Amino acid sequence: MLLVAALLVAALVVYRLTLGAPPEVETTPVTLAYPYQTETMLNATGYVVAQRKASVASKATGRMVWLGVAEGSRVKKGEIIARLESQDMEAARAQAAANVTVARANVQQALAEEQDARRQLERTRELLAQKFISEAAYDTALARSDKARAAVNSARAAEAAASASLRAAEVSVEQTVIRAPFDGVVLTKSANVGDTITPFSQALDTKGAVVTMADMSTLEVEADVSESNLQKVKVGQSVIVELDAVPDARFQGSVNRVVPTVDRAKATIMTKISFQDLDPRILPDMSARVAFLTRSVAPDERTPHLAVRSAAVSRSSAEQAVFVVRDGRLARVTVQTGRSMGDLVELLRGPQAGEKVVLNPRPDLRDGMSVRLAKK
């Protein structure tokens, strides 16, 4: 009897460990996939840069007395960004303007003298013709007329020189006003009110650039491509740009140009990627991943779609279904599939993203059955 009982217990244990144990299944998650990935022939990484970017400085040297922008400020071309102290240059401009006034007065005086000398010469010529004066007197009047005409030319030249000096003084004053060279956004501020600004920042404790700004309409991606893959890239080729800072969006672009030189250290060639539509969320120096495509894609192909590995879908003559694993039990869910995306298939109807489904389901799996997850 004891032997029979022992055999029964052993048989029961073997049954539970084999036939009575829940089947072991391998799972795969339902994910969000992008259809354009099937058209990707090459991937590269890079950074967003502004094609038009400038460190704005002054040609004059002086102490900054006013700053009208901060990081993130939007400015228009010609808008005043900062001012340097300019009292000495304004005084020089006022002096140059006074010199112009004096020079113009001298011109008027010279013209008056030249007109008097000309009239005197005409009278002298008439008297000489009537033999009332000697030729020496006529020569004296002629010389006076020539000197008066030369004096007018000299006065006018002095006026031109004074006007040029005034323009130079006005330029010097204008150089103390720092203006935006183009429409853009201020990225960084390098100086504050009270700092001494010099054109080349060679002196101790001086600043060169006041701000750094960029034209946000010229943003592009610089991506390095291995020289062995250069034949896969061409100007005008469609690309998709993914930014780490904006993970839920995909931006369409195209290859604008390929820099015709190779980085010897990295064996790469730089490509310049233009955005088809700029987004305000795109900022300079963002890291980017670029997918070079075999063709341009529709907007629908740039949005995420539910997808699962094709091997997880069980197909019968009536319908398609997947087995979702929930709390150790199977739930059979009818699905409707769409386009194929490599080893994935689009789910038009079915479980949600993140749920686990059985990969390569066995024919004997049933709804509500307990299962064990296979160890990876």
Length of the chain: 376
70 and 92 in a single domain? The answer is no
298 and 310 in a single domain? The answer is no
363 and 312 in a single domain? The answer is yes
Residue 72, token pair as written in the block: 């993130």
Last residue of a domain, one of 282, 302, 322: 302
341, part of any domain: yes
**What does the pLDDT read at residue 130?**
87
Q: What is the CATH number of the domain that holds 198?
A: 2.40.50.100
> Which single residue is written with the structure tokens 């995420």?
304
2, part of any domain: no
**What does the pLDDT read at residue 201?**
55
**What does the pLDDT read at residue 131?**
82
- CA-nearest of 312, 319, 317 to 365 is 312
254 and 320 in a single domain? The answer is no
Strands 196-197 and 206-207, bridge-based pairing = parallel
Helix ranges (H only) for 130-240 are 135-174
243, part of any domain: yes
Residue 59, token pair as written in the block: 């040609």
Q: What is the mean pLDDT, run by run of 10 residues, along the chain of 376 residues?
A: 55 48 86 88 95 90 92 94 93 95 95 92 88 87 91 95 95 93 93 85 66 94 94 94 92 95 93 93 94 90 89 81 89 88 88 90 87 79
207, part of any domain: yes
71 and 203 in a single domain? The answer is yes
- Predicted structure pTM score: 0.71
Tell me, what amino acid is at 168? A
Distance CA 348, CA 43 (A): 28
What phi, psi does 111 have (nearest 5°)? -65, -40
74 and 196 in a single domain? The answer is yes
91 and 69 in a single domain? The answer is no
Residue 260: exposure state from Cβ atoms within 10 A (0-12, 13-18, ≥19): exposed
In DSSP terms, which residues pair with 32 in a beta bridge?
306
Last residue of a domain, one of 196, 214, 232: 214
181 and 81 in a single domain? The answer is yes
For the stretch 163-190, what's the b/e string if a residue is b when 16 or more beta carbons lie within 10 angstroms of its beta carbon? bebbeebbebbebbebebebbbbbbebb
- CA-nearest of 276, 266, 347 to 306 is 347
Q: How far does Cα 42 stand from its chain's mean position?
A: 23
236, part of any domain: yes
Q: What is the extent of the structural domain holding 58?
A: 53-85+177-214
In DSSP terms, which residues pair with 223 in a beta bridge?
46, 271
243 and 297 in a single domain? The answer is yes
12, part of any domain: no
68 and 204 in a single domain? The answer is yes
**What does the pLDDT read at residue 5?**
55
Q: What is the CATH number of the domain that holds 333?
A: 2.40.420.20
Distance CA 84, CA 178 (A): 8
Residue 281, token pair as written in the block: 């969320």
Strands 320-326 and 314-315, bridge-based pairing = antiparallel
158 and 192 in a single domain? The answer is no
Strands of 40-90, DSSP E: 40-50, 53-56, 62-67, 74-75, 80-84
> Which single residue is written with the structure tokens 């090459």?
42
Last residue of a domain, one of 302, 318, 349: 302
Residue 183, token pair as written in the block: 């429409």
Distance CA 58, CA 82 (A): 9
In angstroms and rounded to an integer, the radius of gyration of the C-alpha atoms of the chain is 43
Q: What is the CATH number of the domain that holds 245?
A: 2.40.30.170
278 and 331 in a single domain? The answer is no
What is the number of domains present in the chain? Answer: 4
